Amino acid sequence: MESKIRCEWCEKDDLYRNYHDNEWGKPVYDDAVLFEFLILETFQAGLSWHTILKKRENFKKAFDKFDVKKVAAYKDKKLQILIEDAGIIRNQLKIKSAVSNAQAFIKIQEEFGSFSKYFLGIGLFAAGITSAITAPLAAAYVANGCLGWNIGLRSFKFRFVWIFILGLGVLFSSIGFKSIEIIKFAQVANGLLLPLIAGILIWIMNKSSILGVNKNTKIKNIIGLLILAVTLFLGTKSILGVFNLL
């Protein structure tokens, strides 16, 4: 009996399950495969992906096995054949878009050598810009909460923290400083401090001189020890992961 855990959306049939197991969520660096998905995604607009997958082989046959140069060279006669092909989505605008997309695809290849590098580069750039803006902004919110400033985005203090963190990122990036060692140190510190703090809290919660009659009961201590065990496990896992010992 098959025991593989899958997303609920793919349990419709074997076609969907096969796509989920072998293609969905996997990075693609092959230009030919990327062009195939570009064509399929073009026709998917407004429809379900399952509908497109069922017609995938028909699309492959109709579009010359997704040969980007052949598709880019399609003329009116070929377009008319595609419009009359009942095996694909017979939408005239989508068919014409497939041809113009193929032409743009080739221009990008000529300019950058590979569509996949260009495509991945845009994604990484977008992710980097987003992180560069949101990470310093998050730091400003943390400072706002921890220091009890109770101020807004227009405050000088808030903007100073935001710009300061952003400036550090630009500086470190400019001088070639790699933050991976700091990140590793933070992971190790977190792995050590997490169980330590949990242990200290359990100790404090059992001090009559501090909490009086409100100190921990046996049941609460059992729960606390379970939590401590979990933090020890997570902390150890984090430290071992830093040193690639897992």
Rg (CA), the chain: 28
Residues 6+ apart with CB under 8 A from 50: 12, 15, 16
- Average pLDDT of the chain is 88
- Indicate if the pLDDT at residue 240 is higher than 70: yes
Give the integer Cα–Cα distance in Å for 104 and 59: 20
Residue 144: inside a domain: yes
3-state secondary structure of 6: coil
Closest CA to 94 of 105, 83, 106, 108: 83
3-state secondary structure of 149: coil
Examine the domain organization and report whether 45 and 103 are in the same domain.
yes
More confident residue, 31 or 152: 31
Examine the domain organization and report whether 109 and 63 are in the same domain.
yes
Residue 124: inside a domain: no
Residue 49: inside a domain: yes
Q: Give the residue numbers annotated as catalytic, written as ranges.
A: 19, 41, 49
Give the integer Cα–Cα distance in Å for 160 and 151: 12
Examine the domain organization and report whether 149 and 223 are in the same domain.
no
Percent of the chain past pLDDT 70, that is, above it, reads: 98
Report the pLDDT averaged over residues 40-59.
95
Residue 1: inside a domain: no
Examine the domain organization and report whether 193 and 221 are in the same domain.
yes
- Indicate if the pLDDT at residue 90 is higher than 50: yes
Residue 68: inside a domain: yes
Specify the number of domains making up the chain.
Answer: 3
Examine the domain organization and report whether 135 and 190 are in the same domain.
no
What is each CA distance from 204 to 196, 208, 220, 221, 243, in whole angstroms? Answer: 12, 9, 13, 11, 33
Structural domain of residue 218, as residue ranges?
180-242
Examine the domain organization and report whether 153 and 234 are in the same domain.
no
Examine the domain organization and report whether 72 and 166 are in the same domain.
no
Which of 61-65, 210-214, 231-235 reaches the highest mean pLDDT? 61-65
Residue 31: inside a domain: yes
Examine the domain organization and report whether 69 and 165 are in the same domain.
no
CATH number at residue 53: 1.10.340.30
Examine the domain organization and report whether 155 and 184 are in the same domain.
no
